[in-house]
Structure 1
Amino acid sequence: MSIFVGNLPFRAEQEDIIELFASFGEVANCSLPLERDTGRKRGFAFVEMADEATEERAIEGLQGTELMGRPLRINKAEPRGSRGGGGGGGYGGGGGGRG
């Protein structure tokens, strides 16, 4: 399981996030995705702890914690594609044919 860390300041580094989570146990992995085009950080990260119990404690303990003046949003990361498609779909209203 991974932990999603949102609302990160763009100047936050991997070391800052690891330091934050390390107080709850061993951090197995931490990644900060970058924009494909610009190479800039996207404002969120994924963290993996050594075990699930440690991840649960970190999620509960760090919820709303501020990093560099920004309150973090911390949740279990959802596997890609399982976010449930949202609205949109359907067919647009038809244009009445002139008849």
Structure 2
Amino acid sequence: MAFCNKLGGLLRNTVSHNAQAPVSSMLGSLRYMSTKLFVGGLSWGTDDQSLRDAFSTYGEITDARVIVDRDSGRSRGFGFVNFSSEESATAAMSGMDGQELHGRNIRVSAANERPSGPRSFGGGYGGGGYGGGGYGDAAGGSGGY
């Protein structure tokens, strides 16, 4: 957060001295990124609305989302809260970090933007996988797929 504030100050000085529109739009992007908070350690019972309600005293929330498992639909134990202003996000981060929400102490920090591009998934799927043999090998498999 301090890094973003420092970078924002440098960009503001550049804008005031050079008055270039591209730098100004980049400053707007940086400001938007610093309004998103990561919330970890959520209870399984926390949903989008209860997350929004817990943080609403700090300012206007544009989005609150608990991340859920695609297959089971169950909470993965973390979520994100987006505020309309950097000041609200900063106040919420300092006010809510370490506080109890639905019986769990939550962790609140500035969210890092996920890098764009394809995500890779590790593991041994597709190449024989665990131990080198596939189904039906001599190590006790069923004789085929």
TM score, norm. by length of structure 2? 0.54
Residue from 43, 50, 55 that aligns with 1:16: 50
Aligned to 2:89: 55
Distance 1:9 1:73 in 2: 12
Aligned to 1:72: 106
Amino acid at match of 1:54: S
Aligned residues: 82
Residue from 49, 52, 63 that aligns with 1:29: 63
User: Residues 20-52 of structure 1, C-alpha deviation per residue, up to 9 Å, x if partnerless?
Assistant: 111111111011111122121111110001111
Verify the 8 A CA contact 2:51 2:65 in the aligned structure 1: no
Measure how far apart 1:66 and its partner are: 0.2
CA RMSD after TM alignment? 1.4
Deviation beyond 6 Å, 4+ runs, structure 1: none
Give unpaired runs (5+ residues) of structure 2: 1-32, 116-145
More helix by share: 2
| Residue 74 of structure 2 is aligned to residue 40 of structure 1 | yes
TM score, norm. by length of structure 1? 0.77
Greater relative contact order (CA < 8 Å, ≥ 6 in sequence):
1
Amino acid at match of 2:63: N
Distance 1:63 1:41 in 2: 20
Aligned to 1:87: none
Query: Secondary structure in 2 aligned to 1:61?
Result: helix
Distance 1:10 1:56 in 2: 25
Could you tell me the percent identity over the aligned residues?
35
More off after superposition, 42-51 vs 11-20 = 11-20
Give unpaired runs (5+ residues) of structure 1: 82-99
